[in-house]
Amino acid sequence: MEYYTDGVPALSFLDARSTVLRQMRGVTPATEHVPLAICSGRILAEDIAADRDYPPFNRSVRDGFAVRSQDLPGTFQVIGEARAGGMFDGMVGKGQAVEIMTGAPVPEGADAVVMVEHCERHDDGTISTDRVLPSSTHIAPRGCEAESQSVVLVRGTRIDYPEISWLATTGHADVKVYAKPRVAIIATGDEIVEVNEVPADHQIRNSNAWSLAAQVQRAGGVPVILPIARDSREETRIQIELGLEADLFLLSGGVSAGKYDVVEPALAELGAEFFFDRVLIQPGQPLVFGRARNKFFFGLPGNPASTMVTFELFARAAIDLLSGSVDAPLPMTLARLTRPFRHRAGLTRFLPAHIDCTEVTPIDWQGSGDVPAICRANAFLVADPDKSQYEAGDLISVMPR
């Protein structure tokens, strides 16, 4: 375990993420109803059950002829037709067949469908086949997909296109979902000016607040950008109090140990509880996570890459859970390095890279202020803290950007 001058241990990446998930799981979000047309990406706040059997009848899954399987192989008299949206009213008897289309109800008496390409038509209105089929061949039995009142979508599921399909199938014109969390964002520092200002040589524009707003929106939250907090404890505390009115509060900058890093002291004045204030990762070691006035907050490092990476690793999970999701996945994959890669062991590093199918190439960068390198990347290498050396062709974890 690595310690710092205040005697507080720095957490590993996995321990820090587990701490965030453990703390955030106790929050119960508000709910609301939204129309089906705009519910994509939201989190279900209720179970969605089948309103009837699906399929509601024995359904043909092929174009062909519905027959009695015990009569196969043989010649059959075609006595009618069943198509999707319609049905054949009679019964299929011995030596009889009904021409049937994919999706149509299987007529009573038939228990198999012979594919049309396996049949030969004759001028006298009969068909013949040499196939031998067991009962239920090419038939989806009633209720095989979902029985009436069985739960298909559970509360906490994120709604995507398959879920939209099921909601529409079961007649949900509006859907009960969890409310989107409001996420306050404050950038700190005397060196920061607004985006529409011309910075002096010693100043930078407020890019972190806007990149965080984009990440919050992509994660399903509602970003609320607050004014820049200057490097005084009093002003920072005032802005923090505004931020604590939201469901989650993100600060960017001011969380290191410098003379003008006043975020933690300001939070302490508000009775904040700190769960950790340093994580063994790069970029993003001086990362703060805590709670004040029953609201959770993150103090993210001020360098742009550090802000972006720590949001994706930790704050995004918090937004997932505040949105009502039952889990907070962190997408990872494995890819083979196209060239050797070295790093100093001891930290889990998230470094810009470009992944192409199953191969990944590290991108040269100049440190955590190098936004152009992040723009050229579509992923981050995830370098193991216990492995300092990788060769070309080695597998390495990759987090898509």
Contacts of 15 (CB under 8 A, 6+ apart): none
pLDDT of residue 259 exceeding 70: no
Q: What is the mean pLDDT of residues 76-94?
A: 95
Tokens 């995830």 map to which residue? 382
Q: Dig out the tokens for 339 from the structure.
A: 């060239």
CA dihedral 96, 98, 99, 105 (to 10 degrees): -150
Q: What is the torsional sign of CA 307, 309, 310, 311?
A: positive
Q: pTM value?
A: 0.86
CA distance 220 to 218: 5
CA distance 106 to 374: 57
Three-state DSSP class for residue 297: strand
Q: Which domains does the chain have, with CATH numbers?
A: 13-30+179-322 (3.40.980.10), 31-52+158-178 (3.90.105.10), 59-140 (2.170.190.11), 333-400 (2.40.340.10)
CA distance 18 to 38: 32
List the one residue out of 211, 192, 212, 188 whose CA is nearest residue 263. Answer: 188
Q: Dig out the tokens for 265 from the structure.
A: 């002291």
Q: Residue 261: its pLDDT value, please? A: 65
CA distance 401 to 396: 15
Q: Residue 5: its pLDDT value, please? A: 40
Read off the pLDDT of residues 102-139 as tens digits, 9 standing for 90 and up.
999 999 999 999 999 999 999 999 999 999 999 999 99
The answer to whether the beta carbons of residues 167 and 36 sit under 8 Å apart is yes
Read off the pLDDT of residues 133-172 as tens digits, 9 standing for 90 and up.
999 999 999 999 999 999 999 999 999 999 999 999 999 9
Tokens 């192409």 map to which residue? 356
CA distance 73 to 129: 6
Q: What is the torsional sign of CA 98, 104, 106, 111?
A: positive
Neighbours of 84 (CB within 10 A): 13
